[in-house]
Structures are given as structure tokens and as C-alpha cells.
Structure 1
Amino acid sequence: MSLTDLTFDPEDMIGRLRPWIETESPTFDPAALARMVDLAAIDCAAAGASIEVIPGRPGFGPSLRAKFPHPDQGQPGILLSGHLDTVHPVGTLQQNPWRREGGRIFGPGIQDMKGGIFAALEGMRQILRQGMQTRLPVTFLLTPDEEIGTPATRDLIEQEARMNKCVILPEPATDGHGCVIGRYAIARFNLETRGVPSHAGWALKEGRSAIAMMARKIPEIEAMTTDDCTFSVGVIHAGQWVNCVSSSCHAEVLSMAKTDEDLERGIAAMLALAGTENGIELIVTRGVTRPVWKPGQPQDLALFDTAAAIAKQVGFDLTHQPSGGGSDGNFTGALGIPTIDSTGLRGAGLHTLTEHVLEDSLVERARFHAGLFLELA
């Protein structure tokens, strides 16, 4: 039997994908993620895998490790690394409900990246149903914290990757039929301004506003952006009472850097902002950093060449490019382990209320992943 002998039922797939999307699982809700892990565990077990639920660190949901039957199980093989967390809070389904419209399927997290994981699982399910054997053992590792930089499971992912020959990440496909081999660094920073409180009505001049200080710093930070190193302020928290001059303001900054040198310069520039102005202190601390996964590494290109040949069998031309968006591929690629990223579903609107995938990419990508599992050696 060969890859073309595998049969996929798109309507059945769509029906079984729906609970994955309607089980909302934002990063900051461990209970919601535990429900999602339970659902994924059931489907992995039903596909034939032995499963292990790995408890989460405090404040985080659990992870799932699924190992598919193979005579060489325990030897280095293929790792499929994915994340079950999304950026969408519970309740987003009310604004972007599961629905099918004009060849598209909508729902929170369907493109990033539940749909891609589900398609890869369907590939393994059909392989085992047909009694076929992959050349290498296959392991799925599904984690709960990618959307915030993977602070809780990076060591788990890296250790699992070290025990395998290659890594596949079914993050959303890039434009057309593209995948990713190479990602730029992503650095996060936490900012705090500490001002002097006062009554905003009768003693305004006695206060020093932490909010005003942060507001002045934001344009300064974002103005440091270049083509090779970007800075964006995405989160601000401050104030409790409008009649109080704010004494504290918190912000979070995301920086993208194309090279290690760009990363170090960006880190230095951010840390140099710390200091005191007009009685207000600015504190800058470095958060989670994803390392540069250098594009064009020979081991990744070799893996891509194999994947491109499989894509041809499936019926599409696979392309590749580096990406400015971070993923857990940053970690595995930076370790030098052959890695291919963004093998997941085609669609648009990730991280928005129009997130959707193209229906025809479900079978396409399930068959593509089946080919990867069958032919990688």
C-alpha cells in the first residue's frame, strides 16, 4: 500500500474537528486547557496511541504526550510538536462561532493551530487503520503555553526533540502552500513605571503620573523599530481610580530580531531605557526569549526537500521561507534538530475574530502529514 491508498472522509473529519474548536482553551485558563487535553487524549487513544498526560506547572494547563505503536518505539523518530492553547478567551465562540461558509470553516483557534494538529492526527489514524507502518516511531507532544512564549514547557519540548530525529510543527501554512524553515528571534519585556500618587482633584500637582510616563515612553520604544529589529507595545495595565494620580503602570513589549546580533542590540536598547525621570522610575525586565532559528541550515533544507517531494505526490507545490512570527520551532531549530514548521492548514485571520481555515486543506494536509510519517527515515 502507498500514500494514495489512504482514504479520507472530509465530512467525517469536519464533524470530529468541531469539538476541538468548541472546547475553548486560552493560555491563561488551566481548567479550560485540561478539558482540551482530555478531548485530544481521547482522540489520540482512539487513533491507536498510548497517552500520557503531563501535569502543568503552577498556573498552566497540562501537556499531552501520545506515542503511536511501532516496533522501534523508544528509539529516535519523528516528533510532532503542537500547542493546544489559543489567544482567545472563553466566550469568543459567541463572536466567532463554528460555522461553514463558502468553503471556509470559522472558529477560535482553528487555524492556530488546532486544525493543523487534528489533520496530522487524522494522517496517523488512517495509517494505522490501513495496517501500514511508518519507518520511524511517531510521537505527538501537545503543550499549553506557546502563545505566551512557552515559559512552562520549553524544557519539555527541547528534551523530547533531542530524543528524536526530526520535528514537525503543524502551525498554520504561510501564504499559498508555504512552510517555514527558519524563524527570527522573539523577545518579550516587562515594563513598570512607578509614580507618585496624589488626589487628582485637589492635589494634582503633587502627583507624578505613572500612566503619563508610560504614555511618553511607548512612542519612543516603537520608534526604535527597524527592518531587522521591531518593537511593539501590546499590553498596558494601570489605574484603579480616576480621582487618583496613578502610582503604577505596567506594559509588555514584543521585539522581533532577525539575527543574534540584532537580538542583542535590541535587548541592550530596551534595558537602557530603565531609569528615573521627574521622580518617576521606569523598570525594564527581560521576559521569555525565543532564539533565532537560522534560515537555510542544511539539515532543515534536506528535510524540506523530502517534504516537497511528498507534497508533489499529494498535489501541491510546497515552498519555504523564514518567518518573523515565533513558534516552538525556534527552540528545536536552534538546537540543530531538523525541523519543518507551518505544515498545518491553509486559512487566514489567526488571532482575530475572523479566524478560519479552507475546507479543502483538511484532507490535503492530513494526507501530507501521513506522507511525512510514512516516508521520513
Structure 2
Amino acid sequence: MLRPLAVLLALHVAQPVAAQLPQAPAADRTLQRQSQARIEPFLAELGSLVAIDSGSDRPQGLDRMATHLEQRLQGLGARVERHPARPAAGDTLVARLEGRGDRGILLMVHYDTVFPDGEAGRRPFRIEAGRATGPGVADAKGGVVMILQALELLRTRNGNDHTPITVLFNPDEEIGSPGSAPLIAELARRHAVVLSFEPSPQNGVIDATKGIAFLSLAVRGRAAHAGADPASGRNAAVELAHQIVALQNLGDPARGTTVNWTVLRSGERPNVIPAEATATADLRYSDPLELERVRQQGERTISRRHIPDTTASLTLTPRRPPFPPNPATQALVLRAQAIFRELQLPLPAIAMGFGTDAGHAFQSGSSCPAVLEGLGVVGGDLHSPAEWMDLGSLPARLYLVVRLLETLPSSGCGPS
């Protein structure tokens, strides 16, 4: 793999879109050169990880990933623990690198993907026109490799003279982190800073994400023969349709709340009036108080029946808390932007509508830890066959992560 990779790099990384950092008087030029030199090993390692099918429900692929990551972290001098992430299929890896200070920095990202077995064979890792493609290349195997390569570079530059660092790789983010969320929250409380390595849609960082919940609507009616005696039935599917239309206004854009009905199910045979129907909605929110408002408004709405003798129930299930705008994160954004200015580059801070594990790390009501998201690779078309990762931004982002690890405080809370 390395020989063709070197050829591809020569063809693409040397092009104008490729990874050449601008020189700046305030920049650490040694680190610039070192970051540039790490691009070939970065892509070689990324290609080997993209070749592993590691869907959230595939224990064999997740175990292959975890074993590789465990060995890599041990090679960096870390003490590694594996924690079963039940009910998920894989293990959460927690690795500790000793350093000076009492709290340190937590680096985290997931290694599961949304893709089925065989996808890595159907769409193998490729480099073309300044981009890398393949299942999970940006979300979030690129983030996994960003952490590993930054730690490799940090050790080359500083040996063990750095802030205490903990690394968490979890196998279940794509299904809501049901097994790893408590461990993420527990570890976050012990650290001054949490850096999360989800991809960024542009060469920036993410300073806020939405919370996620599911709304489940269930309607019960009465079955009947659709041709011989339909009037004696109570059509649950039709009642469900009426209720969904009535529930369309549960969202509140001014408060950052969206509700979208996405999954509907009813009936098994075309000649039977369905007695049951269900629907699920995706709920995104920034303010946790919105959950109770949505629940109460939804209950009032479904209390009005459209087909007699039917019943309806609504259940709200929180899945992931929000990572809201906050002063501690803003201080981290300013620190990161100052580092990018060393390279004469802008670093936009972006609020995203998706949810990430930064929501589990953020501690509402506390300035500790300071959390920053989106420190992984630059990429887009996530969760689709067109998913891509940008090559040209890699050296600058490696530079950013290493400089953060070298300059963030080893005690207290957040950036000083």
C-alpha cells in the first residue's frame, strides 16, 4: 500500500489544493515541517483502518479496530484499558499518557461507522483530486488517525514532557453511545479540557451541537376486512396520518428546536384495516427545557381524536444531550484561532445541527471541563457513499492539535 500511496501523494498532495502550509513569522516552522512530513504515514494508517468494516453492530470488525488501536496506543507508551460498551457490540478504549499536572486533556472520538459489512471492499480507500474517500474516512476514522498522529508528533518533539493526556475511542457513537456515554461523562469531569475529533464541514472547529431525542407515536384502532366490512374497523393508519399532520408544528426554529417525522409503520396485508400504526420523529434541540414543552404540547395535540374509538400515545426518549454555546468553549475557540493565525489561516467556529459525544462530555452549570468539538479532519457527505476527506487541510490541523496539546494548561479548568 505504501508505494502506490507515495505516488498518489506526489500527484495530489503537491497540487495547489494540497497540503502546503503558508510560512508565517510567528509560526513554529519546525512543527510546520514535521506536520507536513506526517501526511504520508497519516494516509497509510487511515487507509488500513478504512479497510476494516466496523459498523456499530459488527462485533468482529469492531474488535479488529479495537485491537489495532490498543496496540498503537501501547506503542506510544500509554496504559490501555478496554471497557465493554454494553449494550453496544464493541469495547471502549481508554488510554493514559502520564505527564505534568493534575487534570490534563481528554482526546476522544468514535471508531464505529454506519456502513454494513462488505462496504470497505465495495468502496476501498482512494485518493483522487485532493480528497480521500471510503467508508468512515471522515466520520470518524480520520479523527482517530488525527489523534494517533498528533500524539506521535508530540512524543517526537517533547518525549514525556507534556500535560497528562487521556484518549477515549468508543464503538457506539453512531447509535447514540448507549454503552460509552456514562464513561465519557465520568472521564470528562476529571479533566480540564476535552477535545473531540468529529469531522468539520470546513477548515474550522465546532463550538455547539444539538441534543437528540426521539418521539414515538403509537395509535391503536380496530381491525376489519377492508373489502367486506371496512366500516366496522377503526383505521389506525389514517388516525396516525391525521396526528402527524397535527404534530408538524412541534418544532420552534426560534429556540433551535426541530421535529421531523421520519419512520412510519402500519399494516401487514392490503385487505385488512390496520389496528396498529406507529411513527418516529427525530427531535433536535439546544435548550433542555424544550423537551418538556414538546412533550406537553404533543400530549395536548394527540388528545384530539380524528377517528372515533382510536387511542394514541406519545413517548419522548432523550438520546444525546446538547453541547450548547458557553464561555469555556469560547475561550478554547479563541486559543485555537490564535494558533491558526500563526499560519495566516482563518479558523471559523461553527454550530452544527447534528449531535455528538461532546454533549456527554459537557457538564452543564460548570466551566470544567472546557469542551471543543470538530478537531478531526475536514470532510463532508457523511453517512453516504460520497463521503470524503480533504487532504490539503491535514498539515494545518495536525499543527493545531499539537500546539493545543503543548500549550493548554495541565491543571485547573480550561485555557488560561
Per the normalisation by structure 1, the TM-score is: 0.88
Alpha-carbon contact 1:134-1:373 (below 8 Å) kept = no
Cα distance in structure 1, aligned partners of 2:375 and 2:224 = 55
1:267 to 295, 316, 334: 295
Alpha carbons of structure 1 residues 111 and 269: separation in structure 2 relative to 1, 3 Å: farther
Structure 1: distance between partners of 2:62 and 2:277: 30
Partner of 1:308: 337
3-state SS of 1:110 partner: coil
Q: Give the corresponding residue for 2:138.
A: 111
Distance 1:24 1:239 in 2: 35
Asked if 1:246 corresponds to 2:274, the answer is: yes
CA deviation profile, 1:247-293 (whole Å, cap 9, x unmatched): 33333211122334444322322344455653333222121243343
Residue 203 of structure 2 corresponds to residue 171 of structure 1: no
Partner of 1:12: 41
1:226 and 2:255 equivalent? no
User: Which residue, 307, 313, 337 being the options, matches 1:283?
Assistant: 313
1:28 corresponds to 2:57? yes
The structure-2 alpha-carbon separation of the partners of 1:225 and 1:133, relative to structure 1 and needing over 3 Å to count, comes to same
Distance 1:55 1:314, change over 3 A: farther
Paired residues of 2:194 and 2:372 also in contact (CA < 8 A) = yes
Counterpart in the other structure of 1:210:
236
Q: Indicate the residue corresponding to 1:157 in structure 2.
A: 184
Amino acid at match of 1:66: A
Partners of 1:247 and 1:60 in 2: CA distance: 35
Contiguous gaps of at least 5 residues in structure 1: none
Determine what percentage of the aligned residue pairs are the same residue: 28
* 2:18 counterpart residue number: none
Mark the CA change 1:305 to 1:61 in structure 2 (over 3 Å): closer, same or farther. Answer: same
Corresponding letter in the other structure for 2:78: A
2: CA distance between counterparts of 1:19 and 1:120?
Answer: 16
CA separation of 1:122/1:272 partners in 2, compared to 1, >3 Å: closer, same or farther?
A: farther
Relative distance call for 1:281 and 1:254 in structure 2 (3 A) is same
- Selected match of 2:74 from 28, 34, 45: 45
Whichever residue aligns with residue 253 of structure 1, its letter is A
Q: 1:369 aligns with which of 401, 411, 414?
A: 401
- Tell me the CA shift for residue 144 of structure 1: 2.4
Matches within 5 A, 1:48-87: 48-70=77-99, 75-87=102-114
Which amino acid letter does the alignment assign opposite residue 193 of structure 2? C
Q: 1:25 to 1:159 in 2, by over 3 A?
A: same
Question: CA offset at residue 59 of structure 1?
Answer: 4.3
Q: TM-score, normalised by structure 2?
A: 0.80
Shift of 1:98: 2.3
Amino acid at match of 1:64: L
Amino acid at match of 2:334: D
Q: For each residue in 1:35-61, what CA deviation from the matched residue of structure 2 results, as whole angstroms up to 9, or x when unmatched?
A: 322232233223332211101213442
Gap runs ≥5 in structure 2: 1-27, 410-416
C-alpha separation between the residues in 1 aligned to 2:228 and 2:328?
Answer: 67
SS in 2 for 1:136: coil
Distance 1:51 1:195 in 2: 54
* Partner SS for 1:112: coil
Whether the 8 Å CA contact 1:292–1:334 is kept in 2: the answer is: no
* Per-residue deviation, residues 66-101 of structure 1 (Å, max 9, x unmatched): 2224355xx311001212222223344466442222
Q: Distance in 2 between matches of 1:201 and 1:122?
A: 66
Distance 2:88 2:267 in 1: 25
- 2:209–2:323 Cα contact (<8 Å) kept: yes
2:220 pairs with one of 186, 191, 194: 194
Structure 1 residues 338 and 348: alpha-carbon distance in aligned structure 2, compared to 1, 3 A threshold: same
Take 1:6 and 1:369, find their aligned partners in 2: how far apart are those partners? 13
Contact 1:197/1:247, CA 8 A, preserved across alignment: yes
Q: CA deviation at 1:234?
A: 2.5
In our comparison, the structure showing a higher alpha carbon Rg is 2
Of 115-124 and 52-61, the range deviating more from structure 2: 52-61
Give the stretch that moved more between structures: 8-17 or 151-160: 8-17
CA distance in 1, matches of 2:122, 2:274: 34
1:204–1:117 distance in 2 versus 1, CA, 3 Å: same
Pick one of 109, 112, 122 that aligns with 2:149.
122
SS in 1 for 2:106: strand
Contact 1:54 1:64 in 2 (8 A): yes
- For the 8 Å contact 1:120–1:365, the answer to whether it is kept is no
User: Residue by residue, what CA displacement relative to the aligned partner does 1:233-253 show, whole Å, maximum 9, x if unpaired?
Assistant: 233344444444433333321
Q: Given the superposition, is the C-alpha separation of residues 285 and 43 from structure 1 closer, same or farther in structure 2, using an over 3 Å criterion?
A: same
User: What is the deviation of 1:160?
Assistant: 0.3
- 1:121, 1:366 within 8 Å by CA — same for their partners in 2? no
Q: Does 1:256 align with 2:284?
A: yes
Query: Do the aligned partners of 2:50 and 2:134 also contact (CA within 8 Å) in 1?
Result: yes
- Could you tell me how far 1:360 is from its partner in structure 2? 2.0
Summarize deviations over 1:15-50 as a string: whole Å, max 9, x none. 211122222222233443333222322332233322
Paired with 2:65 and 2:278, the residues of 1 have a C-alpha distance of 31
Q: Is residue 53–residue 61 contact of structure 2 (8 Å, CA) maintained in 1?
A: yes
Aligned counterparts of 2:352 and 2:261: Cα–Cα separation in 1: 20
